[in-house]
Chain A
Amino acid sequence: MKLERELMRGAGPTAVLHLLAAREMYGYELVEALARRTDGVLAMGQSTLYPLLYNLEAKDLIAAEWRTADSGRDRKYYRLTGKGKRKLKADTEQWNQLAGAMAALGVLSPIVAGGVS
């Protein structure tokens, strides 16, 4: 199942920031990770990913650097900035509050809500 555009617009940046919090990644890696780790719920194509990345970069939440990988390919690697970390932390708290609220309303089950961290 894919998210509707509005939900993706809210969740996508936080998901990307979250992935980059672990390590720096390049575009295709991010696409794969998002699809795999969310069972395709947050899967996004290049048409969505790159505008999202450029926006995060414009806001100084992430930084990018072209490097040549071991395979000899040029890839643009993205990493979280200090500002991005703070933003991720704030977003995570808000998502938790949102999930708790939705659980309180019965929209989410407590288990699902509690599983979000």
Chain B
Amino acid sequence: MSGAAEGAGPVRAIWRWNVMHSPLARRIRANRYAARQLAAAGLPASVSTRIDAIVRRTRLWADERGDVARELIAHARDATDAGRTEPEILSSLGDPKPVARLIRRAMKRKRSWLYQTRAWAARGLGVACVLVMVGYGVLALRFYTGRAHIETNYLAMLNDRIAEYGPDERGYPVYQDVGRRWWTIAERLRAESVYADTPSDGDRGIDMLPDLDPSHPDYDAVASAVRGFRPELDRVADATARPVMGFRYSDRMNEESDADGYYAMEPLEPNANPEDQGYLFEVLLPHLGQARGLTRLMVFDTRLAADEGDAARVERTITALADLSRQLGCEPFLISSLVGVAVHNLAGLEVARVLDDHPGLLDGPACTRLAHAFARVRPDAVHLEVVSEAYIFDDLLQRTYTDDGHGNGRLTPAGIELLREFASPPDDLGVVPMLDQTPLTDAAAPAALLVAPDRRSLANRQGRMLRKVEEVLDVGPERLGELRRVQIEVTENQNGVFDPVGIMIPAYDRALATLFRERAHDDAVRVILAVEAFVAEHGRLPVTLHELTPTYLPEIPPDPFDPGSSIKYRALEGGGYTVYFAGADGDDDGGTPPIEDDGDHADAHIRVADLLDRFGRLTPDEDDAPTTTYSMIGGTQDPHAPVPNGDWVLYPPPPSE
């Protein structure tokens, strides 16, 4: 016999046992067994039929049916022997259906405790399933009937801020027009393969003008193009003097204009009904890109003018940059403020570079005028606007949560859709399989109500964050650590994947550190300009900064790294001077910058991360806290790394690249 045939024996036996002990086989056997007993009992046919009917209807196990049949047969035979008539016996047996039910119920009670336990467990499970299904049904009903009430038109509220300004009071129309014209030139330069090999150029490489060194083979071509574009840049400079940028926010863009490049992107009239608008956080802000592009052009033009010895143009362009940063700072979005701060930073850096690279180009009065220009724009330019952040969050809530009229509500299907978008690649915010859209997750969506935070708790967390931001803005960088801890607490993912707070709240610690950095930088720029104005008038360097006040400098600015002390100034032995702050370590290293790993940045000596290192450094325990935010906002920091040992040197500036 082959091995296969030998192996078939046990398999066949198992298969046969399973068949023989299947519920159907057991039922057939039980009925046959009872039938055999009835046939052997010799009872009247009607009695046998009645007993058979009762036994069959009990649907008991085989041995139980046999037992019941045997007892009923014995009883019927005793009755027959006692002279009972057939009708009497039938009457005694009763109606098969209720009798069988009573017998079945009683017999089942006799079964083993194991069976009883299992039966009760099955019943319990069944009840639990029913309860869960009913509960889930109620939950699903509640979820799918949840509708957001989109009533507030935040877009209109934002646009109302500029409604009072006429076309001639807005800079944006000019920037857009000039931007389009430059785009045409940039396209031509690109077609001529000018500036095509610049790192990270993408299709906007032509905008990376500040990085274009005179030794670059394309420098002359680009410089020639910029010189030829100066009439348009003068229009921009004039427009920066206008009160506002005046960009009108919209949820709709002219798609055709987008095809002509981002300079050409133009918003259409926004949908009047907020229900027809998208999320406020999705509002496009092409003007920021346009402003950055124009900033690069102006910075390039500043250097060109400095090389040409055109002091008036240098002064005019730097003043225009400062005013552009003012206009951006007046915009309601946090990102607008940050772009404004960045433009302001570039303007300050250009001041230091021009003074360092072209000594004497700017005379005393020019330095004083520039100092005044920086002082004038500072309140608006070096400023963070968080109003729109509250709007963005409230808009998100009104579109994704129901509203009970008392500030609370529950997540709606629209909210789930939004979370799906957040959780989907390529946002790189972490793929969340639970939110992948599948039939299973669709069916499970109502369960989100069990874990999603309610509207009030989200609003409270956002409100707490904003209050802390405003508090720290008023006090200064020494409260950055406090801000950072509140931020981690507020944005901590408290409800699994159904919590948008961690994603929607921006990295305020980094934003505020950037602002504080620029406040200090602005202070330093004005000190530098005051020193230069002093030198121009007196022909020597001031011994201390006190010589500058109040004629050249209203007051000596503080050192943000060393609360209670002021900005550092020191005349250098070989001539010249240095202006610096204490740096991340908080002590005076005599104006020596720390050794940097990333010296590629133009502002490497005044890193935002240094302020966080000085005042916002977290302990390793806090760093290990299960938050998603810290890694996103603290990318420049390693809590285990030593604090950089050195000063923030504002002058002389770092070598330009």
Q: Kindly provide the distance from the CB of A8 to the nearest chain B CB, expressed in whole angstroms.
A: 13
Which of the residues A29, A52, A54 comes within 8 Å of B110, measured between beta carbons?
A54
Tell whether, in the assembled complex, residue B94 and residue A47 are in contact, meaning their CB atoms are under 8 Å apart. Answer: yes
Tell whether, in the assembled complex, residue B103 and residue A28 are in contact, meaning their CB atoms are under 8 Å apart. Answer: no
Q: Kindly provide the distance from the CB of B68 to the nearest chain A CB, expressed in whole angstroms.
A: 7
- Interface SS of A by simple majority: helix
Alpha-carbon distance A52/B94, docked complex (angstroms): 14
Tally of contact residues, A, Cβ under 8 A:
24
| B residues 57-86 in Cβ contact with A at 8 Å | 68, 70-72, 74-79, 82
Alpha-carbon distance A79/B92, docked complex (angstroms): 23
Residues of B within 8 A of A53 (CB): 106
Residues of B within 8 A of A52 (CB): 106
Alpha-carbon distance A19/B68, docked complex (angstroms): 22
Question: A29, A32, A47, A58: which has the most chain B beta carbons within 10 Å?
Answer: A47
Which of the residues B79, B92, B106 comes within 8 Å of A51, measured between beta carbons?
B106
Tell whether, in the assembled complex, residue B103 and residue A51 are in contact, meaning their CB atoms are under 8 Å apart. Answer: yes
The stretch from A70-78, A80-88, A91-99, A106-114 touching chain B is A70-78
Residue of A nearest to B70 (CB): A74
A46 at the interface (CB under 8 A from B): yes
B93 at the interface (CB under 8 A from A): yes
Tell whether, in the assembled complex, residue B71 and residue A76 are in contact, meaning their CB atoms are under 8 Å apart. Answer: yes
Which of the residues A54, A58, A75 comes within 8 Å of B74, measured between beta carbons?
A75
Residues of A within 8 A of B68 (CB): 50
Tally of contact residues, B, Cβ under 8 A:
25
Chain B 90-105 per-residue mask, 1 if CB under 8 angstroms from chain A, else 0: 0111110011001101
Tell whether, in the assembled complex, residue A46 and residue B77 are in contact, meaning their CB atoms are under 8 Å apart. Answer: no
Tell whether, in the assembled complex, residue B107 and residue A46 are in contact, meaning their CB atoms are under 8 Å apart. Answer: no
Residues of B within 8 A of A32 (CB): 82
Tell whether, in the assembled complex, residue A28 and residue B75 are in contact, meaning their CB atoms are under 8 Å apart. Answer: yes
- Interface SS of B by simple majority: helix
Tell whether, in the assembled complex, residue B91 and residue A45 are in contact, meaning their CB atoms are under 8 Å apart. Answer: yes
Which of the residues A54, A66, A74, A75 comes within 8 Å of B103, measured between beta carbons?
A54
Residues of A within 8 A of B99 (CB): 46-47, 51
B109 at the interface (CB under 8 A from A): yes
Residue of A nearest to B77 (CB): A73
A27 at the interface (CB under 8 A from B): yes
Tell whether, in the assembled complex, residue A27 and residue B103 are in contact, meaning their CB atoms are under 8 Å apart. Answer: no
Q: Kindly provide the distance from the CB of B54 to the nearest chain A CB, expressed in whole angstroms.
A: 8
Tell whether, in the assembled complex, residue A55 and residue B109 are in contact, meaning their CB atoms are under 8 Å apart. Answer: yes
A24 at the interface (CB under 8 A from B): no
Tell whether, in the assembled complex, residue A58 and residue B93 are in contact, meaning their CB atoms are under 8 Å apart. Answer: no
Which of the residues A26, A45, A57, A75 comes within 8 Å of B93, measured between beta carbons?
A45
Tell whether, in the assembled complex, residue B93 and residue A54 are in contact, meaning their CB atoms are under 8 Å apart. Answer: no
Residue of A nearest to B84 (CB): A28
Tell whether, in the assembled complex, residue A46 and residue B94 are in contact, meaning their CB atoms are under 8 Å apart. Answer: yes
Residues of B within 8 A of A66 (CB): 70
Residues of B within 8 A of A26 (CB): 74, 78
Residue of B nearest to A32 (CB): B82
Tell whether, in the assembled complex, residue A28 and residue B79 are in contact, meaning their CB atoms are under 8 Å apart. Answer: yes
Residues of B within 8 A of A76 (CB): 70-71, 74
Alpha-carbon distance A57/B94, docked complex (angstroms): 22
Which of the residues B82, B92, B98, B106 comes within 8 Å of A46, measured between beta carbons?
B92
| B residues 4-37 in Cβ contact with A at 8 Å | none
Tell whether, in the assembled complex, residue B106 and residue A55 are in contact, meaning their CB atoms are under 8 Å apart. Answer: yes
Residues of A within 8 A of B70 (CB): 66, 74, 76
Residue of B nearest to A59 (CB): B109
Residue of A nearest to B106 (CB): A54
**A54 and B75 contact, Cβ closer than 8 Å, known pairs A45-B93, A74-B70:** no
| B residues 553-569 in Cβ contact with A at 8 Å | none
Residues of A within 8 A of B75 (CB): 27-28, 31, 46, 50
Tell whether, in the assembled complex, residue A28 and residue B74 are in contact, meaning their CB atoms are under 8 Å apart. Answer: yes
Tell whether, in the assembled complex, residue B109 and residue A51 are in contact, meaning their CB atoms are under 8 Å apart. Answer: no
Residues of A within 8 A of B72 (CB): 46, 50
Residues of A within 8 A of B76 (CB): 46
Residue of A nearest to B90 (CB): A45
Which of the residues A45, A55, A58 comes within 8 Å of B94, measured between beta carbons?
A45
| B residues 94-153 in Cβ contact with A at 8 Å | 94-95, 98-99, 102-103, 105-107, 109-110
**A47 and B74 contact, Cβ closer than 8 Å, known pairs A54-B107, A58-B106:** no
Q: Kindly provide the distance from the CB of B116 to the nearest chain A CB, expressed in whole angstroms.
A: 10
Alpha-carbon distance A51/B101, docked complex (angstroms): 9
Question: A29, A31, A45: which has the most chain B beta carbons within 10 Å?
Answer: A45
Tell whether, in the assembled complex, residue A50 and residue B103 are in contact, meaning their CB atoms are under 8 Å apart. Answer: yes
Tell whether, in the assembled complex, residue A54 and residue B82 are in contact, meaning their CB atoms are under 8 Å apart. Answer: no
| A residues 16-57 in Cβ contact with B at 8 Å | 26-29, 31-32, 45-48, 50-55, 57
Question: B70, B77, B106: which has the most chain A beta carbons within 10 Å?
Answer: B106
Alpha-carbon distance A42/B106, docked complex (angstroms): 20
Alpha-carbon distance A54/B72, docked complex (angstroms): 13
Residues of B within 8 A of A75 (CB): 74, 78
Residue of B nearest to A53 (CB): B106
Residues of B within 8 A of A45 (CB): 91-94
Q: Kindly provide the distance from the CB of B250 to the nearest chain A CB, expressed in whole angstroms.
A: 79
Residue of B nearest to A74 (CB): B74
Q: Kindly provide the distance from the CB of B95 to the nearest chain A CB, expressed in whole angstroms.
A: 7
Residue of A nearest to B105 (CB): A51
Which of the residues A50, A55, A59 comes within 8 Å of B71, measured between beta carbons?
A50
Tell whether, in the assembled complex, residue A58 and residue B92 are in contact, meaning their CB atoms are under 8 Å apart. Answer: no
Residues of A within 8 A of B107 (CB): 54
Tell whether, in the assembled complex, residue A47 and residue B106 are in contact, meaning their CB atoms are under 8 Å apart. Answer: no
24 pairs from A and B in contact (CB 8 Å cutoff): A26-B78, A27-B78, A28-B82, A31-B75, A45-B91, A45-B92, A45-B93, A46-B76, A46-B93, A46-B94, A47-B99, A47-B102, A48-B94, A50-B71, A50-B72, A51-B102, A53-B106, A57-B106, A59-B109, A66-B70, A73-B77, A73-B78, A75-B78, A76-B71
List residues of chain B with CB under 8 Å of any chain A CB: 68, 70-72, 74-79, 82, 91-95, 98-99, 102-103, 105-107, 109-110
List residues of chain A with CB under 8 Å of any chain B CB: 26-29, 31-32, 45-48, 50-55, 57-59, 66, 73-76
Known pairs A46-B72, A51-B105, A54-B107 / 19 extra A-B pairs, C-beta < 8 Å: A26-B74, A28-B78, A29-B78, A31-B75, A45-B91, A45-B93, A46-B75, A46-B94, A48-B94, A50-B72, A51-B106, A54-B103, A54-B110, A57-B106, A58-B106, A66-B70, A74-B70, A75-B78, A76-B74
Top 7 A-B residue pairs of the complex, sorted by shortest distance between their CB atoms: A47-B94, A54-B106, A58-B109, A45-B92, A28-B78, A51-B102, A47-B99
